[in-house]
Amino acid sequence: MSEDQSKLPAVSEADEKEHGAVVVSEPIRDPGIEPHEPRITDIDPKAADRVERQVSTMFGLAALLTVGSCVAYFAIPRDAELVFGPLSGNANNMTLGLTLGLALFLIGAGAIQWAKKLMVDEEIVEYRHPAHATPEQKADIIEGYQQGVEESGFTRRKLISRSLIAAMAALGLPTIIFLRDLGPLPGRKLYTTIWAKGIRVVNDVTLRPIKPSDLQVGQLVNAAPANLAPIEEESPVEYQNAKAKAAVIIVRIAPNEIRTPAGRENWGIDGILCYSKICTHVGCPISLYEQTTHHVLCPCHQSTFDLADGAKVIFGPAARPLPQLPLAVDAEGYLVAQSDFTEPVGPSFWERG
Ligand code: FES
């Protein structure tokens, strides 16, 4: 019996009877580390030079591709299409994605090739040590870092280090240039909607103008301005923008339950009030109305507004009440706006006064 076998638990006679002959095998031994094989680049300087050229070519190409992405950003029209058989996509976006993606891939592939073929190839064993480092250990770490820099060849292999620096520096360019897409600033566009004096309020679905008598106490209707149709004919995109900003809700509340904010005494008609439908948190359409409490809830993050109290926020992350649209009745008895909203609709933004 070997020394290792003598350490194994003894097999009882009862076990042998029950399971038959028990074969006790040797424990698997630690195979250790394979003998170190030098790489071709360790013994053949020409091979090392060849790999160096490969790596620096990858880094150099990465830099060129990154600069190319910046050129493509300006040169390719925003609405140009690339078609590949049944697939198609925006040419500008696809070119940016391909050039930047390939540049990052080449930097990664070059770094791997550099580490595998050129950096010092030593197998070392490091034992765990306490987390707290003594001054000597810190000095060791700094020395080890400097040794690592030296062994990586970063300072010695100028071709690689320069091409890598160029590739990494080039990557900063698109980051700066693409900031342009945050502009242009919207100017007054966020302040105004297409509501104006005398514009009729129409049902959002039927597009019929609404009379005060069409609404029962407790009823809430989604509505829109009557002047959207001409915009739709001119530009579908503008139509969507205008419709989204001008969306409103009309609600009828018993007049004795309304607490009218100062200055808005003539903004409602017999308990009929009109508010923006766009949540002042981050712009979801508010929707869930609770008749008995006059609360309306935004489904996105549960901001809750009290429509009987100037739509002020009673719960949730919204920071300000829903803007109110002043209402009047025209000569034919239909609800109309007295003016546009007196404040911007939707989420707060940095330029808001
Ligand atoms: S968008 Fe309405 S609560 Fe967040």
Domain boundaries, the chain: 40-182, 188-337
In angstroms, rounded to a whole number, what is the distance separating the alpha carbons of residues 293 and 257? 10
pLDDT above 60 (res 44): yes
pLDDT above 90 (res 76): yes
SS (H, E, C) 100-131: HHHHHHHHHHHHHHHHHHCCCCCCCCCCCCCC
Mutate to test the pocket of ligand 1, among 280, 298, 345 (most ligand atoms within 8 A of CB): 298
Mutate to test the pocket of ligand 1, among 301, 304, 313 (most ligand atoms within 8 A of CB): 301
pLDDT above 90 (res 287): no
Q: For the chain, what's the residue count? A: 353
In angstroms, rounded to a whole number, what is the distance separating the alpha carbons of residues 48 and 58? 15
Residue of 210, 242, 215, 214 whose CA lies nearest to 227:
242
SS3 258: coil
Q: Which two tokens stand for residue 247?
A: 């969306």
Per residue in 105-153, pLDDT (tens digit) is 999 999 999 999 999 888 777 777 677 888 898 999 999 999 888 888 8
Mean pLDDT across the chain = 88
pLDDT given for residue 87 in this prediction: 83
Report the amino acid identity of residue 284: C
34 CA distance to ligand 1 middle (Å): 62
Backbone angles phi, psi at 314, to 5 degrees: -110, -10
Report the amino acid identity of residue 335: L
Backbone angles phi, psi at 155, to 5 degrees: -85, -25
Backbone angles phi, psi at 90, to 5 degrees: -70, 125
Q: Whose CA is nearest to atom 4 of ligand 1?
A: 301
Q: Which two tokens stand for residue 101?
A: 């993606």
pLDDT above 90 (res 339): yes
Residue of 247, 96, 250, 260 whose CA lies nearest to 178:
96
- Report the pLDDT averaged over residues 308-332: 96
- Report the pLDDT averaged over residues 41-55: 94
pLDDT given for residue 1 in this prediction: 43
Number of the ligand 1 atom closest to the C-alpha atom of 302:
3
332 versus 353: the higher-pLDDT residue is: 332
Number of the ligand 1 atom closest to the C-alpha atom of 298:
2
284 CA distance to ligand 1 middle (Å): 6
Q: Which two tokens stand for residue 9?
A: 């638990």
Q: Which two tokens stand for residue 20?
A: 């038959």
Tell me which DSSP letter residue 263 carries.
T
Residue of 248, 297, 290, 295 whose CA lies nearest to 273:
248
Looking at domain 188-337, its CATH architecture is: 3-layer Sandwich (2.102)
H helix or E strand, kind and range, residue 267:
none
Contacts of 313 (CB under 8 A, 6+ apart): 280, 303, 304, 305, 319, 320, 321
Per residue in 184-239, pLDDT (tens digit) is 777 788 889 999 999 999 999 999 999 999 999 999 999 999 999 889 888 888 89
